[in-house]
């Protein structure tokens, strides 16, 4: 019998290639048919190992959920970027590789990121999701998020709606 260790830990520089790979697969799967293909490929291309390595080295908060030696998913987070919203923290991205979705790992990553934000002195937080990303919207609602703002984002010639969920203290 073998035991697989599931862990959540801060990303290290040597994680950059595997993290880029997890990001690419998760984004391509989540946004295929939603974000125009050429725009999606541009977004993915920008986030190679060098981008992740630089983010890790400058101290960005990036939590990895590891399943044995594999990176199942990641969350990155920090200060809320939208100053018009009265929440101190923000989860910028939370993504799992498709084969690790639906197993409770998203919740575990969210809880770990939220806990770290509290330790950083940010007890409230916000997360943005594309309105048409039904999985993300269902997930954040299931986690108790409250829809508090709406906005749009342009991807090439397509404009998509997005919604902000918040958790206060």
Nearer to ligand COA, 32 or 57 (CB): 32
Token representation of residue 41: 């490929």
Beta strands in 25-135 (DSSP E): 61-67, 70-79, 89-96, 125-130
Count of residues engaged in binding ligand COA, rule: CB under 6 A: 20
Bridge pairing between strands 158-167 and 146-155:
antiparallel
Is residue 105 close enough to count as binding ligand COA by CB under 6 A?
A: yes
Q: What is the C-alpha R_g of the chain?
A: 16
Q: Which of 45, 54, 82, 103 contacts ligand COA by CB under 6 A?
A: 103
Binder to ligand COA among 57, 104, 150, 153 (CB under 6 A)?
Answer: 104
Closest to 106 measured CA to CA, from 129, 86, 80? 129
**Smallest separation (angstroms) from ligand COA to the CB of 101:** 4
How many other CB atoms sit within 10 Å of the CB of residue 8? 20
The distance of closest approach from Cβ of residue 114 to ligand COA in the complex, given in angstroms and rounded to an integer, is 13
Q: Which of 56, 136, 163, 164 binds ligand COA (CB under 6 A)?
A: 136
Which residues of the chain form contacts with ligand COA (CB under 6 A)?
26, 30, 94-96, 101-107, 129, 133-136, 138-139, 142
């Amino acid at each position: 019998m073998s035991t697989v260790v599931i862990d959540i830990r801060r990303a290290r520089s040597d994680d950059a290639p595997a993290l880029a790979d997890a990001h690419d697969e998760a984004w391509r799967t989540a946004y295929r048919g939603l974000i125009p293909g050429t725009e999606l490929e541009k977004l993915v291309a920008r986030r190679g190992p060098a981008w992740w390595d630089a983010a890790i080295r400058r101290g960005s908060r990036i939590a990895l959920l590891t399943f044995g030696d594999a990176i199942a998913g990641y969350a990155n987070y920090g200060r809320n970027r939208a100053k018009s919203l009265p929440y101190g923290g923000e989860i910028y991205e939370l993504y799992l590789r498709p084969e690790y979705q639906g197993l409770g790992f998203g919740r575990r990553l969210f809880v770990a990121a939220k806990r770290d934000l509290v330790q950083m002195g940010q007890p409230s937080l916000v997360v943005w999701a594309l309105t048409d990303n039904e999985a993300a919207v269902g997930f954040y609602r299931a986690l108790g998020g409250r829809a508090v703002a709406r906005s749009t984002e342009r991807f090439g010639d397509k404009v998509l709606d997005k919604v902000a969920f918040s958790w206060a203290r």
